């Protein structure tokens, strides 16, 4: 199918991210969500990979399903932190044999309770990206953290590591954030370091207070009180909360596109309604 840099060159690209499901209910929900979102003709869809091991297997199956059954370009995520080099090599070779054109190279986080890498494992996403580059012709994406990675020792060190990683990749996708100024500042900081790789902002529609608060805390991000208050004011009705989250996400998306973002990557959490409404409101349909 198509390399993502080529898709981005055609104009702002809409993409959706899904989590590999863990159980039969999750499988049914993802199947339903794909049926609803595929007709929007996103430029690509991506499927996460469980660094801890719980959802490693299904990533490859879902990527194949998205490509074959829905005709949409699909990108697997791959984390390196709990794998040996040989294991990573075998996975990458499988993807190359499957005809995969794009891969998101990530470090991932060690499973809770373990703090040791397998011997000879890659320590950072940049090492994984270099390994995939040497082994295949795939376009390589990496994660970007506009507000810094939670484990970084300093902002300066964080920006240097991120700049080196993003410079060596073909594109980057950001962690979610709630203010377009974070994206603008980050892309300026990268440009100041000579890095002009396309950086696609990741957009998380804030529709579920507890879910977003938990994920924000995990990523060292502040969940703005103003959004929390708007969601609370909408009461317990899920449709009313979704309307608040979608309105917020659409405004953020428009600011990002005005700032020159090469696309929008929507974290769907395997739900279709909010991503569908956002995509329709901003009118991004690159195909
Ligand atoms: P890295 O770029 O390797 O950075 C990790 C840390 O190491 C940072 O603190 C960085 O500053 C530091 N560092 C980097 N290089 C050096 C160096 N040379 N020396 C010293 N320190 C260094 N996780 C999953 O488990 N599965 C997924 O599918 C998944 N998908 C994601 C998709 C996106 C778009 C994003 C933004 C994140 C995703 N994550 C996923 C989460 C990600 O794995 C975590 O954020 C992880 O903690 C960092 O991954 P990374 O690839 O950014 O790591």
Q: 112-145, pLDDT tens digit by residue?
A: 766 677 777 899 999 999 999 999 999 999 999 9
Residue 97 lies in a domain: yes
Residue 260 lies in a domain: yes
Which residues does 135 contact at the CB level (< 8 Å), separation at least 6? Answer: 89, 92, 93, 96
Number of domains in the chain: 1
Q: Are 103 and 95 in contact (CB under 8 A)?
A: yes
CA 273 to centroid of ligand 1, rounded, Å: 29
Q: Could you tell me what percent of the chain has a pLDDT over 90?
A: 86
CA 72 to centroid of ligand 1, rounded, Å: 26
Banded pLDDT at 287 (limits 50, 70, 90): very low
Residue 123 lies in a domain: yes
Ligand 1 site, residue 187, Cβ cutoff 6 A: no
pLDDT in tens, 150-185: 989 999 999 999 999 999 999 999 999 999 999 999
Q: At what angle do helices 209-218 and 225-233 cross, to 10 degrees?
A: 160
Ligand 1 site, residue 49, Cβ cutoff 6 A: yes
Residue 179 lies in a domain: yes
Range of the domain at 116: 4-282
Best mutation site among 123, 144, 153, 161 for ligand 1 pocket (most ligand atoms within 8 Å of CB): 161
Residue 196 lies in a domain: yes
Ligand 1 site, residue 51, Cβ cutoff 6 A: yes
DSSP string, 243-267: HHHHHHHHHHHHHHHHTT-SEEEEE
Q: Are 141 and 170 in contact (CB under 8 A)?
A: yes
Task: List, by residue number, the catalytic residues.
Answer: 17
Nearest CA to ligand 1 atom 45: 108
Confidence (pLDDT) at 91: 96
CATH number, domain containing residue 201: 3.20.20.220
- The mean pLDDT value for 43-54 works out to 85
Nearest CA to ligand 1 atom 2: 125
pLDDT in tens, 71-109: 999 999 999 988 999 999 999 999 999 999 999 999 998
Nearest CA to ligand 1 atom 43: 108
Q: Could you tell me what percent of the chain has a pLDDT over 70?
A: 95
DSSP string, 149-162: -TT-S-HHHHHHHH
Residue 75 lies in a domain: yes
Residue 287 lies in a domain: no
């Amino acid at each position: 199918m198509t390399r993502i840099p080529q898709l981005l060159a055609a104009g702002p690209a809409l993409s959706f991210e899904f989590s590999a499901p863990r159980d039969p209910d999750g499988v049914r929900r993802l199947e339903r969500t794909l049926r609803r979102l595929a007709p929007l003709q996103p430029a690509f869809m991506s499927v996460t990979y469980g660094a801890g091991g719980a959802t490693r297997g299904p990533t490859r199956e879902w990527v194949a399903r998205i490509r074959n059954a829905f005709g949409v370009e699909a990108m697997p995520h791959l984390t390196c932190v709990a794998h040996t080099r040989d294991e990573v090599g075998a996975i990458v070779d499988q993807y190359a044999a499957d005809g995969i054109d794009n891969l998101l190279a990530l470090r991932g986080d060690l499973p809770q309770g373990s703090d040791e890498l397998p011997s000879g494992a890659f320590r950072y996403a940049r090492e994984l990206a270099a390994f995939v580059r040497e082994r295949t012709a795939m376009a390589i994406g990496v994660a970007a953290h506009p507000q810094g990675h939670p484990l970084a020792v300093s902002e300066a060190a964080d920006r240097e590591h991120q700049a080196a990683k993003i410079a060596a990749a073909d594109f980057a996708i950001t962690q979610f954030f709630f203010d377009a100024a974070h994206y603008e500042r980050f892309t300026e900081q990268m440009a100041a370091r000579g890095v002009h790789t396309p950086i696609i902002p990741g957009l998380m529609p804030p529709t579920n207070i507890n879910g977003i608060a938990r994920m924000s805390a995990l990523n060292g991000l502040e969940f703005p009180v103003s959004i929390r208050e708007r969601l609370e004011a909408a009461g317990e009705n899920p449709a009313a909360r979704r309307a608040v989250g979608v309105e917020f996400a659409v405004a953020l998306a428009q600011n990002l596109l005005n700032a020159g973002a090469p696309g929008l990557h929507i974290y769907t959490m395997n739900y279709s309604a909010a991503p569908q409404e956002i995509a329709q409101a901003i009118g991004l349909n690159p195909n």
